[in-house]
Structure 1
Amino acid sequence: MTAMRELSPRAVSLDERPIARRVGLILLSTDHTTELDYARLVASDGIGVYASRVEYANPTTPENLLAMRPRLAEAAASILPGSDLDAVCFSCSSASAVIGDAAVTEAIRAGKPGVAVVTPALAAANALTALGARRIAMLTPYLAETTRPLADYMEAKGFDLAGVTCLGFDDDRVMARITRAALVDAAVAAMPADADALFISCTALRAALVVAEIEARIGRPVVTSNQATAWECLARCGASVSHPEAGRLFSLPLHTAA
């Protein structure tokens, strides 16, 4: 039998963390898109992205979105138990507007005390402000009843809505299947001549992939849900990145987001 030698752990040097920065994601159980966007825009050798999923049932209505609130604390606590995080993003734009930023933050901090909480609605508002936009257009894939709370949210943040377009879908799994070409066409059609910027809401949409293309077509900045939260999470990590494909927002200093 081969001799085995066991060393004392004290003889082995350790890093303070396995990876320098850690971002948590709370995803809907039906989300097909956010993890892939974060793999492209956030994850790196120095930033780890760690996800949990919260039970969610379609259709995408304010009532079903609100039903997730009691589940957020458990979802947050399940992300690397016993380890702190630099930020946790609740990746649902419409739910963050329906539940409210304060309530989302309270619920997530019940599971991860003191963590910086990022929501798509607030991240989008911060991004639009950083881009100097006050009069905006909105495009959502939702029903009108689901779009209304988000429009109200943006108006409460001081934005003037030049136009709101909703595509009438009620299932986020179908929203994730909208083609890139269709997203570009819808974005161009939703952009009035007098708007400063376009906000494309919904973390299910693959809109972050076509931001630069839309900006080239409309000649103004575009903010999407996943692009905005990624930008803010990177700022919380003190990161320095270059993602020209992610549009004008990523040309701004990341410290602006924090």
Structure 2
Amino acid sequence: MTDTALLAGTTHDRTRYVNAMGPRGVIGIMTPGPNVVVENEMMDMRPAGVINAVDRYYVPNQSIAEDEDWAIIMRHVAANLDDSVHRLNEALIDHLILGMSSQSFMGGVKGSFALQEHLENESGVPVTMGAQAAEAAFDAVGARKIALVTPYYPIIEKHAASYFNDRGYDVVHVEGLKCKSIIEVASQSAERLSDAVLVADSYKPDAIIQLGTNLHFAQVAQDMEKKLHKPVFAVGTAIYWSALRKMGINDQYTGFGSLLESH
């Protein structure tokens, strides 16, 4: 599906220049249209000299009452990702982020790495996605027993659990909130998210990660790390942290939890 028109006389200048506002790098972020949290959290995470270019690809704010509703969402994602890449390519980005964690787990390990390879081929730049970023976060703290907090239904959660199990982690619990739409995901309160973390922690994981980038979780993660004295990661933070480190940007700063502060 495409809505991009190329008019007669169109050219694509690929001469690279240093961006005056972002001399250290321009990060392209793809996110579903209804996802209003990830772009703003990642804007807040920018270190000096880095800027974000955001593209919102079409995904309906689907009413979610069963697994098939999530399946419809994921089919829209698959149909529209390439157009998003092509639009961001016009900004001559230095790095590409898939700002939707669920798609990075679809098809388990094989599907995830195939998607990463595809996006790198389409964009021509390195790509960071939720699945691999989560791995990097767990490895940074030596966590093997993990718990997940998600806004999803089981159809998505089973792909995520399969990915982590096949990569050698022990998923001890998945706490799913079964949100009713993508927009409803963004309405979840810090109290409800903190309660979900406490349930996940009762299964004694080494670390906890939240999936679903439209959950407003960056601050919750930081607060729960202090309360539980163990790593609690927001997937959006993990993705942005991983992208920066791949770009050779090793700034450490407070406000978003232990990953950006200490790793």
Aligned residues between the structures: 237
In structure 2, the gaps of 5 or more residues are 1-15
Partner of 1:17: 19
Q: Stretches of 4+ moved more than 6 A in 1?
A: none
Hey, what's the Cα distance between the residues in 2 that align with 1:157 and 1:203? 22
Q: Is the 8 A contact 2:53 2:91 kept in 1?
A: no
TM-score by length of 2: 0.83
Q: Is the 8 A contact 2:210 2:235 kept in 1?
A: yes
Question: 1:246 aligned to 229, 242, 256, which one?
Answer: 256
**Alignment pair present for 1:79 and 2:81:** no
Q: Is the 8 A contact 1:137 1:192 kept in 2?
A: no
TM superposition shift of 1:22: 0.7
Question: 1:195 aligned to 190, 200, 205, which one?
Answer: 205
In structure 1, the gaps of 5 or more residues are 1-13, 254-258
Q: Is the 8 A contact 1:69 1:107 kept in 2?
A: no
Q: CA offsets per residue over residues 75-124 of structure 1, 9 Å max, x none?
A: 011015162x22111111111111533332244235322x1111112111
Tell which structure's C-alpha radius of gyration is larger.
1
Partner of 2:45: 41
Change (3 A) 1:193 1:105: closer
Of 207-216 and 238-247, more deviation after overlay is shown by: 238-247
TM superposition shift of 1:63: 4.1
Question: 2:221 aligned to 211, 227, 232, which one?
Answer: 211
TM-score by length of 1: 0.84
Question: 1:55 aligned to 55, 58, 61, which one?
Answer: 58
Of 178-187 and 53-62, more deviation after overlay is shown by: 53-62
TM superposition shift of 1:168: 1.4
Hey, what's the Cα distance between the residues in 1 that align with 2:169 and 2:72? 25
TM superposition shift of 1:132: 0.6
Change (3 A) 1:118 1:144: same
Partner of 2:102: 94
Of 55-64 and 85-94, more deviation after overlay is shown by: 55-64
Identity %: 22
CA-atom RMSD in angstroms: 2.0
Change (3 A) 1:16 1:199: closer
Q: Is the 8 A contact 2:96 2:128 kept in 1?
A: yes
Hey, what's the Cα distance between the residues in 1 that align with 2:223 and 2:115? 33
**Alignment pair present for 1:105 and 2:116:** yes
Q: CA offsets per residue over residues 146-187 of structure 1, 9 Å max, x none?
A: 211111111111110121111111411101100112211221
Change (3 A) 1:243 1:45: closer
Q: Is the 8 A contact 1:163 1:192 kept in 2?
A: no
